[in-house]
Amino acid sequence: MVKPSGKRKIVKYLLDSYKGSIQLVCSTVGLHRSMWYYQVKKDDSDVETKLNEYAEKYPTYGFDEYYWRIRREGYVWNRKRVLRVYRKMKLGLRRKRKRPYPVRDPKPLEEQTKPNEVWSLDFMSDSLDDGRRIRVLNVIDDYNREALVTEVGISFPSERVVRILDQLIEERGKPKMLRTDNGSEFIAKAYKEWCYKNEIIPEYIKPGKPTQNAYIERFNQEFRKGVLNAYLFKSVQDMRMKAEEWRYDYNHYHPHKSLGRRTPKELWDDFVKSGKLSKFTTINKVDNDNIFKYLSNLELS
């Protein structure tokens, strides 16, 4: 059934498109002529302003909360009037508000002179052959682009990210800085408190500026090409196996153009031979030659 407001639009269209009297067009559409001439005299601007104010300040509240707050402020607007304006403004549909980010002023990417100066972290996503979504946490050392972690899982709350970093620090040592995007795992309270407790600087890039974390983005490209796009995975364990095999090959045999066609392992060996290792006390390097033993353990777990 067409409402009078809809019929008014039809009458206006017919009058603009065809020649005819208002009485003839209104009778054809079924709209009383007085309704065509009727002009709305109500001014709801005050109500709209007040509802907009509440919608911005209390976006999760509904009509009843808004209406009774209006009454408590002393306004005597009729409930039906306020409800009409509320529906007209489509406030029944919850407004989505972008969560404001703090002002980010990250330091530019610099070539590091020793390990554990800056680690870069980022997440990737893919799916198993049964459609389940899978995420991968990648961590690299900016010094020699070594892949420290390629952790595969279904869910990565900030507490799990912290546990992974704790385990990595036990094996390798503590970094001075962690460079990440503004993902929910990295801006969570648990992650920030962990960084503060361990005296690690959490460095955030600007939202929508992935090039400010270019080292990990370049690594992600290689990981997607070599693992995620190369295989179909039946299970999480299957993906973990492929990721660890690829990580070992990447660290030991992948020549980097930016490293003078050396591998991450070769650059680490050069750092050891330089004699700087004795002064480098924040790292306890564990060689990955037992990687295949670790992979066999994955199959049993």
Q: Are residue 82 and residue 178 in the same domain, yes or no?
A: no
Asked if residue 51 is part of any domain, the answer here is yes
What percent of the chain has pLDDT above 70?
A: 86
What percent of the chain has pLDDT above 90?
A: 53
pLDDT given at position 147: 95
3-state SS, one letter per residue, for 160-199 = HHHHHHHHHHHHHECCCEEEECCCCCCCCHHHHHHHHHCC
Q: Are residue 252 and residue 161 in the same domain, yes or no?
A: yes
Q: What is the mean pLDDT of residues 74-101?
A: 81
Q: Are residue 184 and residue 292 in the same domain, yes or no?
A: yes
Q: Are residue 77 and residue 128 in the same domain, yes or no?
A: no
Q: Are residue 137 and residue 197 in the same domain, yes or no?
A: yes
Cβ atoms of 201 and 195 closer than 8 Å: yes
For the cut 50, the answer to whether the pLDDT of residue 65 exceeds it is: yes
Give the integer Cα–Cα distance in Å for 293 and 240: 14
Give the integer Cα–Cα distance in Å for 182 and 101: 8
pLDDT given at position 142: 93
Which of 44, 68, 88 terminates a domain? The answer is 88
For the cut 80, the answer to whether the pLDDT of residue 17 exceeds it is: yes
Q: Are residue 180 and residue 247 in the same domain, yes or no?
A: yes
Q: What is the mean pLDDT of residues 112-131?
A: 92
Asked if residue 111 is part of any domain, the answer here is no
Asked if residue 160 is part of any domain, the answer here is yes
Asked if residue 35 is part of any domain, the answer here is yes
Count of domains for the chain: 2
pLDDT given at position 4: 80
Query: What is the CATH number for 228?
Result: 3.30.420.10
Which helix (DSSP H) or strand (DSSP E) does residue 135 occupy?
A: strand 133-141
pLDDT category of residue 98 using cuts at 50, 70 and 90: low
Q: What is the mean pLDDT of residues 118-146?
A: 94
Chain CA centroid to CA 86, Å: 32
Q: Are residue 156 and residue 34 in the same domain, yes or no?
A: no
Q: Are residue 44 and residue 182 in the same domain, yes or no?
A: no
Asked if residue 96 is part of any domain, the answer here is no
pLDDT tens, position by position, 231-278: 999 999 999 999 999 999 999 999 988 888 899 999 888 888 877 665
pLDDT given at position 169: 93
When mean pLDDT is compared across 78-87, 94-103, 246-255, the lowest value belongs to 94-103
Q: Are residue 272 and residue 127 in the same domain, yes or no?
A: yes
For the cut 90, the answer to whether the pLDDT of residue 118 exceeds it is: yes
Asked if residue 100 is part of any domain, the answer here is no
Q: Are residue 135 and residue 217 in the same domain, yes or no?
A: yes
Q: Which domain holds residue 14?
A: 4-88
Give the residue, 242 or 37, on which the prediction is more confident.
Answer: 242
pLDDT given at position 94: 64
Q: Are residue 188 and residue 58 in the same domain, yes or no?
A: no
Asked if residue 97 is part of any domain, the answer here is no
Q: What is the mean pLDDT of residues 40-66?
A: 86
Give the integer Cα–Cα distance in Å for 141 and 148: 7
Q: Is the pTM of this model over 0.75?
A: no
Q: Are residue 252 and residue 151 in the same domain, yes or no?
A: yes
